[in-house]
């Protein structure tokens, strides 16, 4: 209980802290989320082509990863090493990778009028390490505040698909990584958390039905992108 109270107090303190990001954000930050097999890799390329057709400078990146050091951490997280990675160790590794990614790639790009398209970001930590592993939102929020201050994506697109369908797709394309080896119950919790976050952050998060044929998925995506860019 004492630890929980300390974490809560730290979260409140950080929430009230002045944003320490000393840069002018002139690019937009778009993240793609969803369980395994929903089609994020295919559709991030679609978004890239969509932006290129409109002469919008952008970079594509991913989490965990995005820089050489962050990619090394990704290898640790996704590898199937014999030693078990404990849930809190996993969470710290994810945020260590994210810190490097933010400072070395995301923030400099946004400061240089470059849009960032990122395959996963902090919503994934709440879904996978939070709902999936059972780590409290309070703990994740403290690390989020330390790492990002108040920085959030401008748009988060959540690709939703029944767990069984997503795992069938994911496991059919390559040997499963450490996360893909989790059971259906794990991914049910992850999916439910994504849908919950979409409701809680409805202005930022948009859901796409990824069970539809690709042309229909990209029609949904096109509509979201048009609405988003019209607001800018």
CATH code, residues 26-231: 3.40.50.300
pLDDT in tens, 102-123: 999 999 999 999 999 999 999 9
Report the 10 Å Cβ neighbour count for 113: 13
- What are the residues facing 13 on neighbouring strands? none
**Any idea which residue has 């090394």 for tokens?**
72
Q: How confident is the model at residue 2, as a pLDDT?
A: 46
Q: What does the pLDDT look like over 26-61, one tens digit per residue?
A: 999 999 999 999 999 999 999 999 999 999 999 999
**Domain range annotation of the chain:** 26-231
Question: Which strands, in side-by-side order, build the sheet including 58-62?
Answer: 58-62, 115-119, 29-33, 155-160, 205-209
pLDDT attached to residue 6: 47
Q: Is the pLDDT of residue 190 over 70?
A: yes
The span from the CA of 73 to the CA of 96, in Å, is 8
Picking from 33, 202, 208, the residue whose alpha carbon sits closest to that of residue 122 is: 33
């Amino acid at each position: 209980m004492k630890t929980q109270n300390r974490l809560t107090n730290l979260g409140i303190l950080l929430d009230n802290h002045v944003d320490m990001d000393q840069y002018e954000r002139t690019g937009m930050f778009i993240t793609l989320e969803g369980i395994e097999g929903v089609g994020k890799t295919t559709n991030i390329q679609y978004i890239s082509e969509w932006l290129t057709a409109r002469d919008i400078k952008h970079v594509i990146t991913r989490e965990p990863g995005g820089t050489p050091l962050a990619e090394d951490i990704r290898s640790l997280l996704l590898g199937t090493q014999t030693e078990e990675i404990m849930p809190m160790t996993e969470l710290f590794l994810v945020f260590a990778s994210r810190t490097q990614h933010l400072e070395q790639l995301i923030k400099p790009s946004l400061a240089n009028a470059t849009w960032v398209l990122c395959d996963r970001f902090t919503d994934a930590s709440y879904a996978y390490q939070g709902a999936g592993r059972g780590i409290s939102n309070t703990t994740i929020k403290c690390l989020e505040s330390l790492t990002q201050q108040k920085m959030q994506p401008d748009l988060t697109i959540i690709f939703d698909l029944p767990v069984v369908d997503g795992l069938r797709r994911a496991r059919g394309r390559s040997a499963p990584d450490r996360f893909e080896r989790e059971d259906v119950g794990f991914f049910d919790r992850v999916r439910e958390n994504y849908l919950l976050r979409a409701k809680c952050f409805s202005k930022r998060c948009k859901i796409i039905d990824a069970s539809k044929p690709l042309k229909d998925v990209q029609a949904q995506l096109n509509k979201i992108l048009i609405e988003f860019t019209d607001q800018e």
